[in-house]
Structure 1
Amino acid sequence: MPIKKKHHERIDKKKIKLITFLSFLMGVGGSSLYYIISSYLEESVGEANVGIVYSFTYLALFFLLLNFHKLINKFGKARIFFVLQFVKIVILTMLGILPVASFDAVLVVGFLMLSYITWVEMDIILESFSMDKVSGRIRGLYLVAHSLGYMVGPIVSTQLLGKFGFPSVFLFGMLLNSIFFIVTLLHFRMMKAEMREVPGIRKLMKKVMADKNLRGIYIVSTVLEIFYTLMVVYMPIYLLNQGLSWAQIGLIISLIHVPYLVLQYPAGMLADRKFGEKEMIIGSLLLLGFSTTYIYSIESPSFFVWLAVLMVTRVGASILEILRDSYFYKQVDAGDIDVIDFFRTASPVAFILGPMFASLILLFFSMKAVFIFTGMVMFLGIVPAMGLVDNLSEEEIMIKNGAKTAGNRWNFWRALERRFDIRKMIKTGKF
C-alpha cells in the first residue's frame, strides 16, 4: 500500500520550536543517565548480568514497538504519552531514593524502554506539525538540539556522580523529566491520534516490505544503528586497551558530537533545496565504511589521533542520521503511526544483532576485527540506498517543471542511476 497516497500535512512553527527545545531536554536528561547506567547495574546485579539486562530490554522494546500503535489506537496518543511520562518520573524517583538492590534492574529496564518510547512519540508529534518540503531543515534543527543536550548531559552527570553518588544523577533526571512532563502537558494535552488502521505484526511487516523505499530506508537505518551499537559497546574498551584514560575517553565522547551540531542542519537544508537525500546517504555510508575500517590499522595511545579518526566517523554518521530521518518522514505522515513505530525498531534490532555477531567474531579474532566487520556492514548499506527512489529537492522540482536548466551534477546522478539499476543487476548479474 503506497503511503504517499494518504499524505496530509500542516505546519506549526511555534509547536516546532517548542518540540526542538524539548529535544534538547531529552538529550540532557537521556545522556546524563545512559553513560552511568552500566556502572549502576554492575553494582546492583553484578558485572556478569549487565549484558543480560540490556539484551532483555531491547528484545522487549522490539516487540513493544511492533504493537505500540495498537495501544495508541485503543487508549489515545495523549493518554498513553502522559501516563508513560508519569511512570518514568516515578521510576527515576525510586532509583534516586531507594538503596541499591537487584530489583533496580527492573526499574532500569523500565526507564530505558520508556525513554526510547518517548523519543518515538516525539517523532510522531513533530511529524504532525511538519511539511515535506522543509522536513530536512526541521529534522536537522531537532537533532542538533538533541545533540547539544547530549554534550551537556555527561558533563553534569559525571560531576554529580563524583560529588554525591548515583542518587543525585537519578534525581537530576527526575527533575528534567518533570519539566518535560509539565511543558508537554500544557501544550500537547489535546493532541489526537490520526491512525487509519490497526494492522497486526505480520500485516505491518508485509506493508513495509512491499514498499521498496520504506524497506530500503529501514535497512539503512538498521545499518546506522549497528554502527552506533558496536561503537558504544566496544570503542571505550578498545581505547582503554590502547592506553587512554577514562578522562580522555570521556572528553572524546563529548567532542565527537560536534559534527552533529555543525553538519545536521546544513545537510537537511541541502537535501530539501539542492540534492535530495539519496546521493548524500550513499556518500555518508562510504565515509562511514572507510573511516570505521581504518580503525583496524591504528595502534596509538595518542588522544589527538583517536579524536581525529572518531570525529571523521561521526561526520559520516551525523549526515546519515539526518538524511535517514528526512527521507523516511517524507514517505509518511503523522497518521502512519504503525509504520513509524516499525521504523524505530531498527535500534533494538541493531542492539540484538550487532553484539551477537561481534561476540562470534571475538571467539576467533581480536577486538580490532569488530571494526572491520562494522565497516563492511556500512558498505553493504549502500546496496539498499542505491535502490531508493530519491525525494526531489526544490531545485530538482524546478528542473523537472522546466523552470530551471539542469546542471552537470544533476545529469550525472540521473545517468548513474539509469546505468546502475540495482534490481536489474541483482536479477541478471550484469553491470
Structure 2
Amino acid sequence: MPIKKKHHERIDKKKIKLITFLSFLMGVGGSSLYYIISSYLEESVGEANVGIVYSFTYLALFFLLLNFHKLINKFGKARIFFVLQFVKIVILTMLGILPVASFDAVLVVGFLMLSYITWVEMDIILESFSMDKVSGRIRGLYLVAHSLGYMVGPVVSTQLLGKFGFPSVFLFGMLLNSIFFIVTLLHFRMMKAEMREVPGIRKLMKKVMADKNLRGIYIVSTVLEIFYTLMVVYMPIYLLNQGLSWAQIGLIISLIHVPYLVLQYPAGMLADRKFGEKEMIIGSLLLLGFSTTYIYSIESPSFFVWLAVLMVTRVGASILEILRDSYFYKQVDAGDIDVIDFFRTASPVAFILGPMFASLILLFFSMKAVFIFTGMVMFLGIVPAMGLVDNLSEEEIMIKNGAKTAGNRWNFWRALERRFDIRKMIKTGKF
C-alpha cells in the first residue's frame, strides 16, 4: 500500500545551496576522521578489539535509527539536531585533549553514531526544501559536494597526523563541526518536525515492506552498502598482498572518488529529464557486478591496473548511489521521518551482514572469493530493481500527455518491461 497519496512540497534554492555547502563540510570533517579512527582504536583498545567496537557501533545505530523518529516527535527536530551536534563537538574536544585510553572507544562509538545521524537529519532537512521533479539534480549536487569533501579530508588529516599526531586531527574535526553547528543554528533553528504518526518498530517495518517500491529500493540500497562495506574492509588488505604500498593505496582511494564528482549530477539530471531512475539503476548494478567479479581474476602489482579496475567499480557505485537517493526521495517527503530513518538503516545492516558472510567465506576460500561474493550480491540486486515502478521523467510525462512523440528508446524499455514482468516470472517460473 502506498504511504500517502500526495506530497507536500516547497522548494527553497537558497536553503538548498546552503545545505550543499554543509554537505561539503560534512565530507571534509567525516573523511578526515574516518580513515584514522581504526588506527586510533588500535592504540586505545588493541587490534583484537577494533572489530568489536565497529560491530557494536553499527548494531546500536541500527536500533537507534528504527526509533529515532520517536525522539524527533517527542522533543522536536531542531532540538534533537542541535543537542546532538553540540555533543559531537564535546566528544571531539575530549578526544583531542585527553590522553589515549580504553575509555576512548566509548567516545569513538558516540562520534560514529552521531556522524551518521547528522547525515540522516541533513537528508530530512534537504527533503524539506526539495521538489520531486528536480530531486535528481538536487541530490546529485548534494552528493557531489560531499564527495569533494571526501577527497579533501584524508589529505588534510594525514598531513596533520604525520606532523602533530591524533589530537590535531580530532581538534580539526571539532573546528569544522563547530562551523557546521553555527551555520545550521543561524539558518535552521526554526525548523519543525512534520511527523504524521509515530509507529512502533514492527508497524514501521510492516509499513515499508507493504510498499513494493520502498521495499525494492531499500534492498537495492542494502546491496550498495554491502559493496561499500566489503570494499572498505577487504580491498586495502588485498592490495597490500598484491604488492602495492600504503602511499599507492591512499592515492587510489582519493582518485576513485572522481566518478562521484563527474557523474552524479549528470546522472540525477538524466533521471529527472529523460529516463527516470529504474533503467539506470539496473545498468549500474550490472556494471558493479561485472567489474567487482572481475577483481577475482587480477594478479598484478601495477598501480594503474588497480586504479582502472576500481575506477570502473566506482562509476557503477556513484551512479547507483544518486539514483537510489533520487528514487527514494520521490516516494516520500519531509513528513515521512520514520520511513527515512528506516531507509538509512541499510548501512548498519550491510556493515553487520557483509563482514559476517565474508568471514564465513574466508574459512573455506582465499580473500579473492570475497569479491566473487560481492559481485553476485550486486547481480541479485537487479531482481528487486526490476520490480520497481519507475518515476516518470519530464520527457516521459510529456509523451504520456501526448505533448511529445515516443522515441525508439522509450518504446524499447516499455516493451521490455511488459515482456519481463519480474513478479510474473517469479510466480510462474516462465520467461
Q: TM-score, normalised by structure 2?
A: 1.00
Q: How far off is 1:3 after superposition? A: 2.4
Q: Secondary structure at the match of 2:113?
A: helix
Q: How far off is 1:4 after superposition? A: 4.0
In structure 1, the partner of 2:296 is 296
The separation in 1 between residues aligned to 2:4 and 2:218, in whole angstroms, is 17
The separation in 1 between residues aligned to 2:281 and 2:169, in whole angstroms, is 37
The separation in 1 between residues aligned to 2:401 and 2:4, in whole angstroms, is 20
How big is each residue's C-alpha offset from its partner over 1:392-422, in whole Å with a ceiling of 9 and x where there is no partner? Answer: 0000000000000000000000000001011
- Taking a change above 3 Å as real, the CA distance of residues 145 and 179 of structure 1, as seen in their structure-2 partners, is same
In structure 1, the partner of 2:384 is 384
The separation in 2 between residues aligned to 1:30 and 1:196, in whole angstroms, is 32
The separation in 1 between residues aligned to 2:52 and 2:276, in whole angstroms, is 41
The answer as to 2:375 corresponding to 1:375 is yes
In structure 1, the partner of 2:338 is 338
In structure 2, the partner of 1:193 is 193
How big is each residue's C-alpha offset from its partner over 1:4-27, in whole Å with a ceiling of 9 and x where there is no partner? Answer: 414110000000000000000000
Q: Secondary structure at the match of 2:403?
A: coil
Q: How far off is 1:104 after superposition? A: 0.2
How big is each residue's C-alpha offset from its partner over 1:24-60, in whole Å with a ceiling of 9 and x where there is no partner? Answer: 0000000000000000000000000000000000000
Q: How far off is 1:109 after superposition? A: 0.1
Q: CA RMSD in A?
A: 0.4
Q: How far off is 1:2 after superposition? A: 1.4
The separation in 2 between residues aligned to 1:228 and 1:238, in whole angstroms, is 15
Gaps of 5+ in 2: none
How big is each residue's C-alpha offset from its partner over 1:235-262, in whole Å with a ceiling of 9 and x where there is no partner? Answer: 0000000000000000000000000000
The separation in 2 between residues aligned to 1:194 and 1:305, in whole angstroms, is 50
In structure 1, the partner of 2:73 is 73
How big is each residue's C-alpha offset from its partner over 1:121-156, in whole Å with a ceiling of 9 and x where there is no partner? Answer: 000000000000000000000000000000000000
How big is each residue's C-alpha offset from its partner over 1:151-207, in whole Å with a ceiling of 9 and x where there is no partner? Answer: 000000000000000000000000000000000000000000000000000000000
Identity of aligned residues (%): 100
How big is each residue's C-alpha offset from its partner over 1:272-318, in whole Å with a ceiling of 9 and x where there is no partner? Answer: 00000000000000000000000000000000000000000000000
Which is further off, 2-11 or 181-190? 2-11
The separation in 1 between residues aligned to 2:283 and 2:340, in whole angstroms, is 25
Q: Secondary structure at the match of 1:296?
A: helix
The separation in 2 between residues aligned to 1:252 and 1:167, in whole angstroms, is 26
Q: Secondary structure at the match of 2:37?
A: helix
Question: How many pairs does the alignment contain?
Answer: 431
Q: Secondary structure at the match of 1:197?
A: coil
Q: Secondary structure at the match of 1:149?
A: helix
Q: Secondary structure at the match of 2:59?
A: helix
How big is each residue's C-alpha offset from its partner over 1:214-269, in whole Å with a ceiling of 9 and x where there is no partner? Answer: 00000000000000000000000000000000000000000000000000000000
2:289–2:378 CA contact under 8 A, matched in 1: yes
The separation in 2 between residues aligned to 1:88 and 1:427, in whole angstroms, is 49
2:133–2:272 CA contact under 8 A, matched in 1: yes
Q: TM-score, normalised by structure 1?
A: 1.00
The separation in 2 between residues aligned to 1:2 and 1:197, in whole angstroms, is 15
The separation in 1 between residues aligned to 2:413 and 2:202, in whole angstroms, is 36
2:3–2:207 CA contact under 8 A, matched in 1: no
In structure 2, the partner of 1:167 is 167
2:257–2:314 CA contact under 8 A, matched in 1: yes
The separation in 1 between residues aligned to 2:229 and 2:4, in whole angstroms, is 32
2:267–2:323 CA contact under 8 A, matched in 1: yes
Which is further off, 105-114 or 3-12? 3-12
The separation in 1 between residues aligned to 2:353 and 2:311, in whole angstroms, is 25
In structure 2, the partner of 1:37 is 37
In structure 1, the partner of 2:354 is 354
The separation in 1 between residues aligned to 2:42 and 2:240, in whole angstroms, is 18
The separation in 2 between residues aligned to 1:311 and 1:81, in whole angstroms, is 36
Q: How far off is 1:107 after superposition? A: 0.1
